[in-house]
Structure 1
């Protein structure tokens, strides 16, 4: 019984995997680097830094971490950044 299952196991065709690889390559070329890229360093701001931070700087920070979609008031952006980047004991 086990031998019959093994003999009927589907084997991927080399041509299919080549087409799949080519398709991925084309998609990657069309869309650049492929999306989110984690910055090298985690932000090292304190709660007080976020509370004094200017709006353009908060926007830039959020954008660098792929969170530039966030819309709201300056206070909402600051609260979002604090909640995202500060550890619970720092809040």
Structure 2
């Protein structure tokens, strides 16, 4: 039986995908869509929320926005990873 991902897991997937290229140039929305596996409409709403909360930075460019994980987003990913490890130690899966 397949399990649904939580909103927190999807946010973590988006933040991780936004770090993929390893440069400060950020990634495009297509890359985020493929890596996070969510619909375009949902991704647009999520990007607005993540940029608004300071977890992602939107970089305006000629061809459109690119996104990169902010310092606050990196802190979120670190805390999420620690919590995953903590839950796993009790036999839980997030």
TM range, smaller chain: under 0.3
TM-score (norm 1): 0.27
The structure whose residues are more often strand, as a share, is 2
TM-score (norm 2): 0.27
Greater RCO, CA 8 A, separation 6+: 2
